[in-house]
Structure 1
Amino acid sequence: MKRPRLFLDPTSFGDEITLEADGSHYLTRVLRLKPGDRFVALDGQGREVEAELLDRHRARPLTQTRPATEARLELDLYLALAKGERFDRAIEKAAELGVARLFPLASERTEVRDPGQAKQERWQRLALSACALAGRVKPMRVEPVVALPQALCGPGWLLTEGAPPPSPVESERLSLYIGPEGGFTPAEQEMASGQGLTLVGLGPRNLRVETAAAVAVGLALFLAQDLQPRPQSL
């Protein structure tokens, strides 16, 4: 049985691990761990520590590892804002797959413009939970909403209906731009091309935003040869 995993503030780590209110509640109330039970503590900077719960506020670090679970390809995902739970699902899948940063994207055809601070904080919590469950050691950051003209930077792919499929990825960093269900406008596509982005397609079928995001991220990792198993280092 896999041990529960929990991201904690890096300053919590020392001879003992200090559990703040949220972490304590999750371990002792939600998971109902008791003193002596073990879990995996993550500092969000690549360190993973097996720990033994001492009480509601403290844990003892036991063994430390640095698993090679993070993608070598640094992926920034610019994802068009969508209504309801669809954006939540996209965040979770992006976090599981290894995206480094996710930027909610406002373009000409997006229906949502300002989701508000509460939703922004909720998205970050979703990302943390998904990263922990996926075995990642660094959390995906959910950044503030950005408008497309300010977001364009290469190397990157802008998903466009009818464009050719992407080529192998040779860079160490890649930005992915996923538009709303109406797609990016011709003017936006021209602007992206002018900024050095590559217009790419994912085939003849219409994909929802959350589906297109998962497919694009997985394809980028595959084309960067970033899906091969790697040895775990101590």
Structure 2
Amino acid sequence: MPRFFVSPENINGNTVTIKGEDVIHIKRVLRLSIDDRITVCDGNEQDYFVSITGIENDAVTGKILDISKNSNEPPVKITLYQGLPKADKFEYIVQKCIELGVDEVVPTITERTVVRLDSNKDIEKKLTRWRKIALEAAKQCNRGKIPNISEPVYLNDAIIESVKRNSGVIAYENAENRPQSVENISNAVSVFIGPEGGFTPEEVSLAQSSGIKPVSLGPRILRTETAGVVLVTIIMNKFGDIRPFG
């Protein structure tokens, strides 16, 4: 069933109003009609089963038939501090990690970051693109919220911010701890992934001095777009959100 997100203020009584690009998608792509059924989420983990009652040029309205709590949000809140990679790799990371259940993705500038965002215009353009990918990923996998894509931060500031959370891990190929060491993390965790080339030893030491645990992801060196997906999956498995076969 088609799924859409709306702001809570667009839900009044038993009526839902959809605006923006989704109106065009409903009319021209899905070609939905009056009485067709859709699912609408308010972004606060509440799903509404809706029957379309009106289709206008700038809005689609619907009648709420049923309401249910969205059960697809994981029991752990992961904030992914992802070192900015080259090309369009960050888009892939956003899409896949949101499918896996990440709560927030923070583009992070590190010592080995090659990508440069030279102006506010560059940043806004990137954020618009990344947030659209986040929205579509959240729709596709039936999330109960749209995970936030934050503005880029420098690693030092990211480490300070992460201290507000209960635990943190940083992927580092020379770490002695194996992935199973995530057994001791809390249900609100910061995950740090470096860009191409990884983190410098000094950056890892800085993170470690703030209580962030370095972890190795195994004997093979993973690409930056692979490392985050792997570590998020390991953490989700630890909390029972993703179960192994058998």
Could you tell me the TM-score, scaled by structure 1's length?
0.92
Q: CA deviation at 1:150?
A: 0.5
**Structure 2: distance between partners of 1:16 and 1:84:** 43
Between stretches 31-40 and 88-97, larger displacement belongs to 31-40
Is 1:8–1:23's contact at 8 Å kept on the other side of the alignment? Answer: no
CA contact (8 A) 2:171 2:217 kept: yes
- Flag structure 2 segments of 5+ consecutive residues without an equivalent: none
The residue correspondences of 1:97-136 to structure 2 (distance < 5 A) are 97-114=100-117, 115-136=122-143
Q: In the aligned structure 1, how far is the partner of 2:219 from the partner of 2:17?
A: 52
How far, CA to CA, are the matches of 2:104 and 2:231 in structure 1? 15
Deviates more, 1:53-62 or 1:71-80: 53-62
Alpha carbons of structure 1 residues 131 and 169: separation in structure 2 relative to 1, 3 Å = farther
Q: CA deviation at 1:146?
A: 0.7
Shift in Å, 1:98: 0.6
Give 3-state SS (helix, strand or coil) of 2:78's partner.
Answer: strand
What displacement does 1:82 show? 1.5
CA distance in structure 1 between the aligned counterparts of 2:236 and 2:172, rounded to whole angstroms: 19
Structure 1 contact 107–179 (Cα < 8 Å) conserved? yes
Once the two structures are superposed, residues 88-146 of structure 1 have per-residue CA deviations (whole angstroms, 9 ceiling, x without a partner) of: 11100111111111000100001113252011011111111101111111111100001
Partner of 2:73: 70
Shift of 1:209: 1.4
CA–CA separation in structure 2 for the residues paired with 1:70 and 1:54: 29
Question: Could you say which residue in structure 1 is the equivalent of 2:241?
Answer: 226
- Tell whether 2:178 aligns with 1:184: no
2:158 to 123, 147, 151: 151
Match of 1:162 in 2: 174
Return the alpha-carbon distance in structure 1 between the equivalents of residues 30 and 220 of structure 2: 42
Residues 4-19 of structure 1 aligned to structure 2 (within 5 Å): 4-14=2-12, 15-19=14-18
**1:22-48 Cα distance to aligned partner (Å, 9 max, x none):** 221121122221111111101001110
Cα distance in structure 2, aligned partners of 1:117 and 1:38: 35
Query: How far apart are the structure 2 equivalents of 1:169 and 1:210?
Result: 25
How far the C-alpha of 1:170 sits from its partner, in A, is 4.1
Aligned AA (1:157): V
Counterpart for residue 20 of structure 1: 19
Which 4+ runs in 1 deviate beyond 3 A?
A: none
Distance in 2 (CA, whole Å) between partners of 1:210 and 1:31 is 32
For residues 8 and 141 of structure 1, what CA distance do their matches in structure 2 show? 15
Change (3 A) 1:33 1:150: same
| Counterpart secondary structure, 1:116 | helix
Please give the alpha-carbon distance, in whole angstroms, between the structure 2 residues aligned to 1:125 and 1:76: 18
Name the TM-score, length of structure 2 as normaliser. Answer: 0.88
Structure 1: where are the runs of 5+ without partners?
229-234
